[in-house]
């Protein structure tokens, strides 16, 4: 830094890309190289060829993991979007002073470790957990409900984690809507529902798409929450990869799944980019 100030003319003569070179080297060494290695292993272990990828079509176990992952992701995304939409709507319709507090409450979970949150859900949902004990005590159920170590538990934990990511883009989209539009629609003869359906909802479309992409892609690669709340019985892709590589030492299969996951996410983004302008969706339009 000390040398940079007097050397202004020299700095100006420097090619611009030299400035990002350290970062570039760091990225290549610690990100691109391992990623390339993963791709490489997936087509070389245990023997060269596309044998690992063939399993996508032949192995029931691999297919089951993918189906489970997609099902949980779709359920999570749908419920998160519905809940996030409601939360964002309430925030937007509140006076500015209260909005700040509501935001704090929405963002608060982001500052708590995902591990802590997953275990918190375990204490709530397990057989002797708060919910089961309360329901039993109230006489509403005769035996504990199975709320955890299954897809239900995973979905609960993931929805809880994802809601802020849905609220933020939805809030941004709603805030930009002229507050007179809905009253205008009603003045023109639309009922509350029609005004929402034909005016408010279409105008939040960019926010809905952004939130969907964000939540769905995050959900696809989710590891900690499904690992803890699934209890090893319900396997999602990320946990399956960890299982193959660390426990079963089947690098070929694990890296194939990782590569497929990456490809799926890129494909999803490519499809989205075709439908909508992603830069606008993420607020840089």
Our CB check for other proteins shows the closer of 34 and 179 to be 179
Q: Which of 186, 250, 262, 282 binds other proteins (CB under 8 A)?
A: 186
Q: Which of 181, 248, 267, 271 binds other proteins (CB under 8 A)?
A: 181
What SS3 string covers the chain? CCCCCCCHHHHHHCCHHHHHHHHHHHHHHHHHHHHHHHHHHHHHCCCCCCHHHHHHHHCHHHHHHHHHHHHHHHHHHHHHHHHHHHHHHHHHCCCHHHHHHHHHHHHHHHHCCHHHHHHHHHHHHCCCCHHHHHHHHCCCCCCCCCCCCCHHHHHHHHHHHHHHHHHHHHHHHHHCCCCCHHHHHHHCCCCHHHHHHHHHHHHCHHHHHHHHHHHHHHHHCCCHHHHHHHCCCCCCHHHHHHHHHHHCCCHHHHHHHHHHHHHHHHHHHHHHHHHCCHHHHCCCC
Q: Per CB under 8 A, does 277 bind other proteins?
A: no
Q: Per CB under 8 A, does 194 bind other proteins?
A: yes
Of the ranges 11-19, 62-70, 107-115, 198-206, which one interacts with other proteins (CB under 8 A)? 198-206
Least distance to other proteins, CB of residue 7, Å: 49
Q: Which of 78, 203, 264, 276 binds other proteins (CB under 8 A)?
A: 203
Our CB check for other proteins shows the closer of 156 and 172 to be 172
Q: Which of 112, 183, 271, 277 binds other proteins (CB under 8 A)?
A: 183
Q: Per CB under 8 A, does 188 bind other proteins?
A: yes
Least distance to other proteins, CB of residue 192, Å: 8
Q: Per CB under 8 A, does 178 bind other proteins?
A: yes
List residues binding other proteins (CB under 8 A). Answer: 178, 180-181, 183-191, 194, 198-199, 202-203
């Amino acid at each position: 830094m000390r040398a940079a100030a007097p050397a202004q003319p020299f700095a100006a003569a420097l090619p611009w890309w030299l400035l990002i070179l350290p970062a570039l080297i760091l990225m290549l060494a610690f990100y691109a190289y391992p990623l390339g290695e993963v791709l490489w292993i997936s087509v070389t272990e245990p023997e060269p060829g596309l044998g690992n990828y063939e399993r996508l079509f032949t192995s029931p176990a691999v297919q089951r993991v993918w189906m489970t992952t997609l099902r949980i992701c779709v359920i999570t995304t749908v419920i998160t979007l519905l809940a996030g939409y409601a939360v964002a709507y309430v925030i937007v319709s509140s006076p500015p002073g209260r909005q700040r507090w509501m935001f704090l409450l929405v963002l608060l979970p982001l500052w708590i470790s995902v591990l802590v949150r997953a275990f918190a859900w375990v204490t709530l949902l397990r057989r002797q957990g708060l919910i089961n004990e309360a329901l039993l005590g109230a006489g509403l159920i005769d035996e504990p409900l199975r709320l955890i170590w299954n897809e239900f538990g995973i979905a609960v934990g993931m929805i809880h984690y994802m809601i802020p990511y849905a609220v933020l883009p939805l809030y941004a989209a709603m805030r930009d809507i002229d507050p007179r539009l809905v009253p205008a629609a009603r003045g023109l003869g639309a009922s509350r529902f029609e005004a929402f359906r034909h005016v408010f909802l279409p105008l939040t479309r960019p926010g809905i798409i952004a939130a969907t992409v964000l939540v769905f892609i995050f959900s696809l690669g989710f590891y900690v929450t499904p690992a803890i709340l699934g209890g090893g019985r319900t396997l999602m892709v990320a946990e399956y990869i960890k299982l193959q590589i660390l426990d079963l030492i089947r690098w070929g299969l694990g890296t194939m799944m990782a590569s497929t996951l990456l490809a799926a996410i890129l494909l999803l983004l490519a499809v989205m980019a075709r439908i909508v302008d992603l830069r606008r969706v993420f607020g840089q339009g």
